[in-house]
Structure 1
Amino acid sequence: MPDLVVDGGDKLCVQLLIELRGHVRTAGPGAVIHLIASDPAAPVDLPAWCHLTGHTYLGPVPGAERPTYALRVAGESKETEEAKPWHVA
């Protein structure tokens, strides 16, 4: 069961990652976040972003009505630039 569900709607992955960064900060270490994302790049971008920042990508959520991906918030992670989620701050 997730601690938080983020509905990304039709946003592009870069927008989703910028928004997700704020949710990660709020949720705190160990929290499981489910991200609903229709962008076809999400299954590639989200695991890459997790690898970059140190969060744990848990994969697609089975049985979800819409494409949903899970991650676990790391206790220690790397911050990214505010408007550039692919650049470590």
Structure 2
Amino acid sequence: MSTAPAGWYADAQRDGHERWFDGRSWTEERRPVGMQQTNTPAGRLGWLPAATAFVALLVVLCGGALVLAGAAIDTVDSVVSSE
């Protein structure tokens, strides 16, 4: 079974309009034929922004963990050296 790729296709229910197919099913997103827009309808930017945000969060969390670990090691070193 083959399916069409996600994209804008002629709307069988409205002459002069296109409808967005998400690769699995038809959505309610429609536009007039010839209207220049991005490849994806509003709110459907895909996985890239979410993945970018996730990676940024991981970097911040890992950086914070390293700073805290360094502070803990410095504290232990100062306690041990003062004994």
The normalised TM-score by structure 2 is 0.22
Higher RCO (CA < 8 A, seq sep 6+): 1
Bigger Rg over Cα: 2
The normalised TM-score by structure 1 is 0.22
Structure in which a larger fraction of residues adopt helix? 2
